[in-house]
Amino acid sequence: MKPFTKRPLPQIRLSCPLSLLAAVLLAGFITLLALWCQPNSFRGVALPCLVRMPVLILLNALPVGLLLLFFSFLFSNVFYGAALANLVVCGLSIVNRIKIEVRDEPLFPRDFALLKEAANAVSTYSIHYPLKAIAVVIAVTLALAALGLVFRHTPFPAPRLRGWPGRLLGAAASIGVLAILIVTAYRSDTPLYNLLTKSITVSNPYRLSTVFNETGFPFNFCYQFTTYTVDRPEGYSRSAAEGWDQGGQPADPPAVHVVMVMDEAFSDITDEDVFTYGPEDDPLPNLHALRQDGHCLSGHIVVPGFAGGTANTEFDVLTGMQSNALSATTTSAMRVVNRNLDSLIRLFREDGSYTTFFHPGDDWFYNRENVYRWLGAEETVFRDEMENIRFKGGGTWIADDYAAELIERGFQEAVSGGRTFFNYTTTIQNHMSYGLEKYGPDYVFPPLRAGVPLSEQAETLLKVYVEGARDADAMLGRLWRFFSEQDEPVVLVFFGDHLPYLGDNQLAYRELGLDVGPAEDGQMSLRSFETPYVIWANDAAARALDWQSAAASLDLPEDGVISACYLGAVLVELTGRSGESPWFDFLNRLRREAPVVQKNEYVSLDGAAFTEPDPELAADISKWRQWSFYKLQHKEIP
């Protein structure tokens, strides 16, 4: 009997051209499989998009192909390379699917810095794993690896490139090309990206999960490498920032309810001299009356954006950080939040308040559903959870009056449950655009009182906008009256998120002659970023806080103008919480040095504007930036 001998597997050597052809075909296959793994109908959504916009095939397959080449060079086998590329790309695609289904948020490259947080969070979600997709990906990976046992690569013709030198050189070149593409073809501010993507359209460009589903995971994952960045500040020291963040003593502040309303595009531009409104048709009678109340502080906040950037103002107010200082490029502050974060909401929650956020819009917009949980809100209420919604006229935006009703109801429920109420509401009624169709074809607008001739387009924009501002003011009046009648102590904060968008190239502002928008040198005046605010206490809150003394000790500038990032800190001090948070205490000290900080512009407490801070202020600004970076990137909050 002959002894058993193990027969080697038959091996087929592929030439370089055939290996390259195999790499192209395999990259295309893996790309399609990664798209199939997404949480959508592949035949109903992804495939039609690829057919209609074939450039998406290239943009999705390129990174897959280069990753495949990277592994192929390392292992000197195109099928081994394909097996690993398939495992990585489709594995990430499945993780992206799970994350979208659980949190309606795609997978971003920055998520890999949060693996610990992700592991801790898994137990808090009910996750339905796509077992079919997982099984298919594993099976394909094993099949490709098996093919690698049969098909081998022909050595490089050049002897010097055989062995590890050639492998490493090829792998490095593949990754190098991918890196170059990420900062050119996949970066939105480059000509190449604009050329490649000019034909790409999606059904909802503001919902990132929709964008990922309709245009492909590999393409969008690469795109996200250069978006929503947070720059590491010069001189940053994590240990120093940790030291700044220590301390703070538990306080026993008065138990006052706090309601903050950030009203969409709320402004007082109708107070400008160019308008001729009188007491009988004043669009903002409640704002003007409340400013005269003895329990009211008023002024303007300098917000981060002009004619847009609602979420950035929310971020600045609630965190005390500045959106404009996070990165040298424009960023969406809400999109850089991906972990529990110190905020005004969290501070009040730790003091025992029932913290809520109401927004009559979609929960996915600016990722608010997740961000407000990270900021410490116990309850969030969005449009899809609201009942008996009311609109203004034939409009599509939920009325401010309905938002006021939600706040009143939430307050009453909290009080009946023995809880102190903290609420932040972002309204939506006066969102652009300001066309006559906004309130329906039969809506009759009050006359616009402008003292200069206007074009028909500018007059329409202003007429529709002012009607929304009139309703915002009515909301303010309704809440003022409601809380005036309460025995419970309540502090109401009402402010605008940004000035309205009134036509291309600031059409209406130009025709009105207002100093708003870019000047000839491209710079924008601070007036372009100013929106009104009021902080008012009802009688019970005024007694609880010793209003006159507390308000006077704030040392607000005479004109009441402060950066939006200080508004939350002002509220912390006003409600007797000084000493609880080193962060907010620092902000209140910085506010007294420079009440306005807007990029490279500063305004002192006496109203003097300057661009070169003295060494002490410069050091504090640097500390502010470094501390913000620490909170966003490194601080761990259970």
Separation between Cα atoms, residue 234 and residue 212, nearest integer Å? 34
The span from the CA of 339 to the CA of 110, in Å, is 11
The secondary structure of 444-513 as a DSSP string is PPPPP-BSS---HHHHHHHHHHHHHHHHHHHHHHHHHHHHHT-SS-EEEEEEESS----SGGGHHHHHHT
What's residue 117's pLDDT?
A: 56
Structure tokens at 107: 């997978």
Q: How far is CA 436 from CA 292, 298, 354, 377, 432, in A?
A: 34, 32, 40, 37, 11
Q: Could you tell me the mean pLDDT of each successive run of 10 residues in the chain, 638 residues long? A: 57 82 94 90 70 87 95 92 96 91 82 64 67 95 93 66 78 94 90 86 81 90 88 95 90 92 97 96 98 97 93 97 88 85 96 96 89 96 94 87 97 97 97 90 92 95 97 98 98 97 91 83 83 98 97 96 98 96 97 95 92 95 97 92
Buried b (16+ CB within 10 A) or exposed e, 9-26: eeeeebeeeebeebbeeb
pLDDT for position 193 = 86
Res 551: pLDDT: 97
Question: Phi and psi for 401 in degrees, rounded to 5?
Answer: -60, -35
490-496/596-598 β-pairing: unpaired
Q: How far apart are the first and last CA of the chain?
A: 70
pLDDT score, position 518:
72
pLDDT of residue 1: 47
pLDDT at residue 5 in the model: 55
Residue pair 602/611 in contact by the 8 Å Cβ criterion: yes
Cβ count near 612 (within 10 Å): 8
Domains and CATH numbers, the chain: 12-226 (no CATH), 259-633 (3.40.720.10)
Spatial distance between the Cα atoms of 206 and 216, rounded to a whole number of angstroms: 16
Return the pLDDT at 49.
73
- Give the count of beta carbons closer than 10 Å to the beta carbon of residue 525: 15
Q: Give the Å distances, CA to CA, from 99 to 107, 225, 363, 638.
A: 7, 18, 15, 20
